[in-house]
Amino acid sequence: MSSPSPELDQLAAGAVDADDLRILARVAAVYTQLDPVPAGLVDRVSFGITLAALHGEIAELQRTNDLAGARAQEAPVGSQTVTFTSSDLTTMVTITPSGADRVRIDGWVDPGAGVQVELRLPEQTLQTGADSDGRFVFADVPRGFAQFVLRRPDPGGRQRAVITPSIEL
Amino acid sequence: MIDADQVPETLASRAARMFAAFQGGDETTMSDLVGLLTPILWHTVRAQRLDHQSAEDVIQSTWLALVRNSASIAQPQAVLQWLMVTARREAWRVTKREDRVDPTDFDADDLETTPDDAPEDLVLRQDNDIRLWQHIAQLPERCRALLRVIAFADRPDYAAVAESLGMPIGSIGPTRGRCLAKLRLQLGSDPGWES
């Protein structure tokens, strides 16, 4: 059906014309209907890049596949686990619904001793410190965009920050 | 050729203007740029069959990378291409990683996240759009990926956009190229298609 043909070659060599532009406009409309940009993505990006200019390393986000593996069976229903990796810190957070529009965040950072954890939300910023095992908790957080900033003590007295991409709680 | 100062702005040139302003210290233009280019980036990564959640994450890290590297982008005109190439690489990387976890997740032949739904059951509003979708679905996957993204660009930028997608020179722009020509032929032989 679409095997090479002189007609196809000739058409392919022609300049893009107004009919093509009309068709492509419809192609865009079709994809916009079938697979629209998710609501909130632009806002999430705008929220997330605000801190990007801050001095610090940006961590890489990895999602744990909740459908596979034994770990998923231990995790509370409806929870999601996200891992952030940077050159010398690994941070795993599990987000569990805790009420209407609220979540609990259980985190673990490695190496965790002395790490200060900042949770940046659109309306406020929460702070806590990781315990000697690297565990930290934000027990009651409103749903919405969130971003972590991790600061680890530096022998030289300077703090080195790791910034995570924003996630939606 | 039209007078230089009458050339209409394209997606790439609008993006370049906003990015140059951002580089010049006007930080408010970055959110305009995000709003302008996120649709084409979305379709760039979704055409690589990335699932919804991963596609959102890839787009976010692409923008973070741009802000991080903004000083090193010497030519603002290249910002659209820079973002598309970055998004495509990141999507490819994530696809490889996820593939190792669960290859069956990426078996569905549809571009959509709901492969169980026939296109007719989806949200296309007009008969003509359903017809167009059926013709698009018959194209080779490379052509679908190309046209899906090109559809969100402007004609003077087609060749650069195709290059950012890793397509060979001549895939599209300034000439039609084979993908668009195939679609034209299919539509032309469909008596039900109203152009």
| pLDDT tens-digit series, residues A114-147 | 899 999 999 999 999 999 999 999 999 999 999 9
Confidence at residue B193, expressed as pLDDT on a 0 to 100 scale: 87
Residue B5 has pLDDT above 90, yes or no: no
Residue A54 distance to chain B (closest CA, Å): 9
Residue A66 has pLDDT above 80, yes or no: no
Beta-carbon neighbour count of residue A45 at 10 Å?
25
Residue B101 has pLDDT above 70, yes or no: no
A 44-73 residues inside an 8 A Cβ radius of B = 44-46, 48-49, 52-53, 58, 60-63, 65, 67-68
Q: Where is pLDDT greater, at A133 or A154?
A: A133
Q: Where is pLDDT greater, at B4 or B182?
A: B182
User: What is the mean predicted confidence (pLDDT) over B121-128?
Assistant: 66
Task: DSSP letter for B75, please.
Answer: -
CB A93 within 8 A of CB A112: no
Do residue B176 and residue A22 have CB atoms under 8 angstroms apart?
no
Helical residues (DSSP H) of chain B, grouped into ranges: 11-23, 29-46, 52-69, 79-101, 127-138, 141-150, 158-164, 177-188
Average pLDDT, chain B: 85
ipTM above 0.90, yes or no: no
Residue B115 has pLDDT above 50, yes or no: no
- Report the alpha-carbon distance of residue B39 to residue B65 in Å, rounded: 18
- Shortest CB distance from A12 goes to which of B63, B147, B178? B178
Size of chain A, expressed as the number of residues it contains: 169
Residue B100 has pLDDT above 70, yes or no: no
Residue B188 has pLDDT above 90, yes or no: yes
User: What is the mean predicted confidence (pLDDT) over B23-42?
Assistant: 95
Task: DSSP letter for B56, please.
Answer: H
B 148-187 residues inside an 8 A Cβ radius of A = 148, 150-152, 155, 158, 172-178, 180-187
Q: In the structure, what pLDDT confidence band is assigned to residue B60 with cuts at 50, 70 and 90?
A: very high
- A–B: how many Cβ contacts below 8 A? 152
Beta-bridged to residue B175, according to DSSP, are A15
A 128-167 residues inside an 8 A Cβ radius of B = 165-166
Residues of A in contact with B38 (CB under 8 A): 37, 41-42, 45
Percent of chain B with pLDDT over 90: 67
Confidence at residue B105, expressed as pLDDT on a 0 to 100 scale: 34
Residue among B60, B78, B77, B80 at smallest CA distance from B68: B60
Do residue A63 and residue B53 have CB atoms under 8 angstroms apart?
yes
Confidence at residue B125, expressed as pLDDT on a 0 to 100 scale: 63
CB B22 within 8 A of CB B70: yes
Q: Quickly list DSSP for B4-20.
A: GGGSPP-HHHHHHHHHH
Question: With an 8 Å Cβ cutoff, is A21 touching chain B?
Answer: yes
Tell me the HSE value of A130 on the side-chain side, using a 13 A CA sphere.
28
Work out whether strand A102-110 and strand A167-168 pair parallel, antiparallel, or are unpaired. Answer: unpaired
Percent of chain A with pLDDT over 70: 86
